[in-house]
Amino acid sequence: MVGLGMCLRDDAGVFVLAKTEWFAPLCDTDVGEAVGLHIALDWISNQQFDNVDFTLDCKRVVDCVNSSIDDSSKFGCIISTCKQLLEDRFQNSHFEFNRRQANMVAHELAQAALSNPSLHTIDDVPTCIWHILTNEMK
């Protein structure tokens, strides 16, 4: 199983909403990260947010989303779909890479996703990331 964790924050870094989800079968890490991005883009679009700064801990995904090079692999097809969503719904958004150590909120949510039977949208700060968010706001 691949666990996904997404956290929306406002421009001051304050928690707004989170989502956890998982899918199977296991796949290449980069493909899983690309699928996670697609799920996040779709979810955020459905929440009607449109000016979003995305921070991902997969450098290859960020580099490919920011690149104009086409790739016909499974990974490249998913990235192309993500680029189309970005073009259609997120014109004023951008992507940046952040090492996993600096993106612990998403990592902890992804781990928590594996113990849930289905996807969860979370309105209040979940206990698994409360301490991380508290430390980041200091």
CB 116 within 8 A of CB 24: no
Which residues span the domain enclosing 43?
Answer: 2-136
Q: How many domains does the chain have?
A: 1
CB 9 within 8 A of CB 129: no
pTM of this prediction exceeds 0.85: yes
CB 82 within 8 A of CB 38: yes
pLDDT reported for residue 11: 87
Examine residue 117 and say whether the peptide bond preceding it is cis (omega within 30 degrees of 0).
no
Model pLDDT for residues 13-72, shown as the tens digit of each residue: 899 999 999 888 778 888 988 999 999 999 999 999 888 999 998 999 999 999 999 888
**CATH assignment at residue 130:** 3.30.420.10
Mean pLDDT of 93-102: 82
Sign of the CA dihedral with 78 first, then 83, 84, and 86 last: positive
